[in-house]
Amino acid sequence: MLSILNQRRTIRKYSDKPIASELINKLMKAAAQASNTGNMQTYSVIVTTDNEIKNKLAPTHFNQSMVKNAPVILTFCADFNRFSQWCKQRNAEPGYDNFQSFMAAAIDAIIFAQTFAVAAESEGLGICYLGTTTYNAGEIIDILNLPKLVVPVTAITVGYPDETPPLTDRLPLESVVHYENYADFTPEKIEELYTEKENSEFYKNFVIENNKETLAQVFTDVRYTKKNNEYFSEKFLNVLKQQGFL
């Protein structure tokens, strides 16, 4: 398991080999053993294999090629619909139309998704997370016919790899691990932690390609701008209102 985790790669190109439905079900069963809040399992996953639906989903994920080309797309949702219906049918009044409940369900859905991803990789499959899911959650809701109290929070493409990309770089572990208390970073420590990343040829070229002075500017001015973050924040908050969580 540690070997699989330490060698994991994001796969965006897939072979034509189909994934047996029995394997998908086997992986889902394993993923369902993941920890979740109160053992309520307040998540759902939509399995998409139909090309027509993939074509509809593609624009919501900014037309990334793997959305159409992957054999399977999985959309993981925070879901308090099913649990609330069960409560009502058992003479219990559900109180899950709020932000706290959304957050609990979203966390559970993401844990479920990551557990599925690890299980899939252990069976020779490759995956790619689609971080675009919350950007256009409203459109995805319409395409997948999601009812109230169901909101997509992440999606992954799945298939047998047709590439072996290099491992993605990671910051030193001390960048993200703190013991007992959060140890804030001095300017000197920031320099130390980011020097290797900034000096790699890949990121040097990345800066040049984006016509920027620093790698940080690529993130703030090109990839994840304040304007876009505020726009998609407002859009997603409206989705939460529409779906009954706010």
Residues 6+ apart with CB under 8 A from 81: 147, 148, 149, 150
Question: What is the side-by-side strand order in the sheet with 150-159?
Answer: 43-48, 72-79, 150-159, 126-130
Tell me the per-residue pLDDT of 154-185, one tens digit each, with 9 for 90 and over: 999 999 999 999 999 999 999 999 999 999 99
pLDDT of 139 reads: 98
Which class is 2-164 in CATH? Answer: alpha beta
* Spans of all domains in the chain: 2-164
Which residue bears the tokens 């399977």?
72
Interatomic CA distance for residues 31 and 114, integer angstroms: 8
Interatomic CA distance for residues 16 and 24, integer angstroms: 16
**Quick check: helix, strand or coil at residue 153?**
strand
pLDDT of 242 reads: 98
With beta carbons less than 8 A apart as the criterion, state whether 109 and 79 touch. yes
Tell me what the mean pLDDT of segment 101-112 comes to: 98
Q: What percent of the chain has pLDDT over 70?
A: 100
pLDDT of 112 reads: 98
Tell me what the mean pLDDT of segment 213-240 comes to: 98
* Long-range pairs of 100-107 with CB within 8 A, sequence gap ≥ 24: 101/42, 101/245, 102/78, 102/151, 102/240, 102/245, 102/246, 104/37, 104/42, 105/37, 105/42, 105/43, 105/78, 105/79, 105/80, 106/78, 106/151, 106/153, 107/37
Identity of the residue numbered 133: T
pLDDT of 161 reads: 98
How does the average pLDDT of the chain come out, rounded? 97
Tell me what the mean pLDDT of segment 220-227 comes to: 98
pLDDT of 233 reads: 98
Tell me the per-residue pLDDT of 45-100, one tens digit each, with 9 for 90 and over: 999 999 999 999 999 999 999 999 999 999 999 999 999 999 999 999 999 999 99
pLDDT of 64 reads: 97
Tell me what the mean pLDDT of segment 123-131 comes to: 97
**Torsion from C-alpha of 14, 22, 3, 39, nearest 10 degrees:** 120
Identity of the residue numbered 65: S
pLDDT of 18 reads: 95
